[in-house]
Amino acid sequence: MDVFEKLKILTDAAKYDVACTSSGVNKKTPKGGIGSAAACGICHSFSADGRCISLLKVLMTNVCAYDCKYCVNRHSNDTPRAAFTPRELADLTINFYRRNYIEGLFLSSGVLKNPDYTCEQMIETLRILREEYRFFGYIHAKAIPGADSALVSRLGMLADRMSINIELPSQDSLNLLAPDKSKHSILTPMRYIQNRIQENSMDLVKYKHAPKFVPAGQSTQMIIGATPDTDLQILNLTEGLYKKYKLKRVFFSAYMPVIENSFLPTIDTEPPLWREHRLYQADWLLRFYGFAANELLDEQNQSFNPYVDPKCNWALHHLDFFPMDVNRAPYSDLLRVPGIGVNSAKRIVTARRMTTLSFESLKKLGVVLKRAQYFITCKGKKNESFKITENAILQSLMSEKTRKEYQMKFSQREAIDQLSLFDMPFKVQPNFLQEDIVKCLQQQM
């Protein structure tokens, strides 16, 4: 089998891994080496599904001893199998890297023979890259659950980032779909890596040139929509992972039906892309906006509102928090206004030192007034130049896409202009109540 065929098979098998980030570490190459890394990460291309291509994302091998039901590489699946030799893969990486196709390597693997053997193959690849080619670019390695901790540790010394996929958000789901994996076998190496990173940061304080262990941190990923877990469960788990395991990122992947199985959604199920999108929005709110998981969802509302984003949803539930004066509100409060993001909040804080901000100047700072105007005041005044109607509020809070869907649904029944909030359809449970909206409107008028 030639490299072309191997690359095709092993890329095809790796593409369901979401993470393709090259962020989290700044590195320069010493004399005689090749490669660097930028903390912001660099995207080298975008595939036709709109996902970033930053790393050469392949499997070492797609031969697998496990039989996880959701996975294309499970051993009972009839699919062509291939394996790179460490040398082949290292050559390919370095040649792609020289041509600036990629920022580095994302190496994962099916379990060939046993976890230890697989891990050794991966280590050999990284060793050739790091030691023989003196490659200092980005390497993301997947830890193989069940591999010896000495091997995981060796892998971590060679890689910039490591990840272990949680795959399914609860033990029950794991039992059902991935009988060879358990919560324990996933969380143990994750904890181990976290402890090593911690130890290493102590070493770095003592010895400036101590070798770095996984300098860009660890991440994980889980599949959304293959099991009946709710958004609330997933978000709580995500928050726990950030807090307890100090993860850098948690990725979500909408389940793409690839296999017919009675435990899984049928093969013609649409992947729950909007749900994945809402989860990422919430994930951002947890990481950069100072929100807690229990503020976004609770026992009564276990799923995200399909029509408005989680931040907007929160704002509509907490109208007593608004309106706030942009010239006085602290940074942390500004972040809670729909239409103000991290960048625009920072710019507001900077710009208001020099001048009192008006609605006109907010526009220049990148605030989306269409959304923010209902929640803010400037110099104690509301924005008067906008005519406010029920319909306008609702529609302006929805994104382009949902608005179109929403209008499509209702265009036959009544003219779009006549739309009333009270006809709002809810796919899931209503996340904001009618009286909330009425209250919102009364405040506006």
Partner 1 sequence: MPTTANVVYQYDGSFDGLLCSVFESYDKKEIPLDIVLPDATQMMLVPIKNIPTDSGKAKRVLASIPAKIGFLALDFVQHAFLTCFTQKELYILLFLRLGYRHGANVMEMLADDVVHTMVKAVRHLDRESHLFKGFIRFSIFNHILVAEIEPKNYVLPLLLQHFCERYPEERFLIYDKTHGMALVYQPYQSAIIPIDDLVLPEPDEAEESYRELWQVFYNTIEIKGRHNPKCRMNLMPKRYWKYMTEFGNTQYNHRKVLKGQDGLLKALSHKELF
Binding residues for partner 1, rule: CB under 8 A, are 3-4, 7-8, 11-12, 15-16, 28-29, 31-36, 38, 40, 42-54, 56-57, 92, 95-96, 98-101, 103, 254, 256, 271, 273, 347, 350-351, 353-355, 357, 361, 364-365
Shortest CB 33 distance to partner 1, Å: 7
Task: Please name the residues in contact with 391: beta carbons below 8 A apart, sequence gap of 6 or more.
Answer: 417, 419, 420, 421
DSSP 61: B
Nearer to partner 1, 296 or 372 (CB): 372
Nearer to partner 1, 30 or 380 (CB): 30
Tell me if 173 sits within 8 A of 181, measured CB to CB: no
Q: Which is nearer to partner 1, 34 or 392 (CB)?
A: 34
234 burial class (0-12, 13-18, 19+ CB within 10 angstroms)?
buried
Q: Which is nearer to partner 1, 80 or 425 (CB)?
A: 80
Return the number of the residue (89 or 174) whose C-beta is nearest partner 1. Answer: 89
Nearer to partner 1, 349 or 428 (CB): 349
3 vs 150, beta carbon nearer partner 1: 3
Q: How far is the CB of 149 from partner 1 (least distance, A)?
A: 32
CB of 130 to partner 1, least distance (A): 16
> What residues are paired with 46 via a beta bridge?
52
DSSP 34: B
Closest separation in Å from C-beta 262 to partner 1? 21
List b or e across 352-387, with b for residues whose CB sees 16 or more CB atoms inside 10 angstroms.
Answer: beeeebebebbeebebbbebbbbbbbbeeeebeebe
Compute the least distance from the CB of residue 184 to partner 1, in Å: 31
Question: Alpha helix (H) ranges present in 207-352?
Answer: 231-244, 273-288, 293-296, 310-317, 331-334, 342-351
Q: How far is the CB of 246 from partner 1 (least distance, A)?
A: 28
- Of 299 and 400, nearer to partner 1 (C-beta) is 400
Contact partners, residue 334, CB within 8 Å, separation at least 6: 324, 326, 340, 345, 348, 349
* Under 8 Å between Cβ of 295 and 314: yes
Nearer to partner 1, 15 or 127 (CB): 15
Least CB distance from residue 7 to partner 1, whole Å?
6
Distances (CA, A) of 45 to 56, 91, 100, 140, 343: 11, 21, 10, 18, 25
Please report how close the Cβ of residue 155 comes to partner 1 at its closest, in angstroms.
23
Reduced to 3 states, what is the DSSP secondary structure of residue 244?
helix
Residue listed under structure tokens 């794991």: 174
User: What residues have CB less than 8 Å from 171, skipping those under 6 apart?
Assistant: 182, 183
Taking only Cα atoms into account, the Rg of the chain, rounded to an integer number of angstroms, comes to 25
* Least spacing, CB of residue 407 vs partner 1, in Å: 19
Can you tell me the distance from the alpha carbon of 80 to that of 402, in angstroms, rounded to the nearest whole number? 40
